[in-house]
Amino acid sequence: MRKRKSSSGAPEPRLRLAFQRRLLSWYRRHRRDLPWRKTTDPYKILVSEIMLQQTQVDRVVPKYHEFLSRYPTFEALAGASVREVTKTWYPLGYNIRPVRLHSIACETVERYGGRLPEEPEQLQQFKGIGRYTAGAVATFAYGKAAPILDTNVARVLHRIFIKRGDAKKQRARLWTLSEQLIPANDAYDFNQGLMDFGAMVCTARQPGCPTCPMKRLCKSYPLSYSMAAGPVRHRTNRRGKISRARSSGR
């Protein structure tokens, strides 16, 4: 399939449709069984999204269940002390996250009667909810066709549709691309599929190019190991895999 762009800069319709169909087909066969995918409760979705920031999925799952058993609603979380919430959060780390989650719960109860707003723009007004988290909550809790862009999604979109340059320096372009690609009637599965595909197939270090369902569409195929690994950068004072924050969390 020839990969062209429309005059507006968006992927041409045939390419966009092919990508959507292949991603949705792959996701429905290979989706991960995760507890937050069994609910559309905005509170539970928000808790999962905050926990998944910079934290591996297998570490999040047991803490997600424990946290919700102790604080099952915004009201329950808002009624607890910050110290108690932070203690319950242990050992996930990055303890600004439970502090901000507690603040969001308090504001949700005080200003919105315990119901989180539906629109991404409103969600981003909360301290601690950025554009990605707002899009995730809007899609997974409220069924909105809101774009998302974490490290996994950025890597997938950059490799398939752009190839050139550093994905980290093309965030605005990638956000636009995410918005252009999302199907209005299948946003939930599409966004979940993007994240699973980046975590399971189009991985950072050893992508599964030979069996990838996108290889006929992908500008980067076949991706060499050196290209997948990216340029070597010397880092200091970093902990673990923080540079792959969202990727490692998904």
Q: Which residues carry out catalysis?
A: 49
Q: Which amino acid is at 47?
A: V
Tokens representing 76 are: 């329950």
**3 contacts 15 by C-beta, under 8 angstroms:** yes
At 250, which amino acid appears? R
Handedness of CA 88, 93, 95, 97 (dihedral sign): negative
Q: Please answer whether residues 53 and 97 qualify as being in contact, where contact means their C-beta atoms are separated by less than 8 angstroms.
A: yes
Q: Give per-residue burial for 214-226: e unless 16+ CB within 10 Å, then b.
A: bbebbebbebeee
User: Which residue type does 224 have?
Assistant: S
Shortest CA distance to 36 belongs to which of 24, 27, 46, 26? 46
Check if the beta carbon of residue 249 is closer than 8 Å to that of residue 198: no
Among candidate residues 89, 22, 27, the one with its CA nearest the CA of residue 62: 89
C-alpha closest to that of 241 among 204, 211, 212:
204
Residue 185 burial class via C-beta count within 10 angstroms: exposed 0-12, middle 13-18, buried 19 and up: exposed
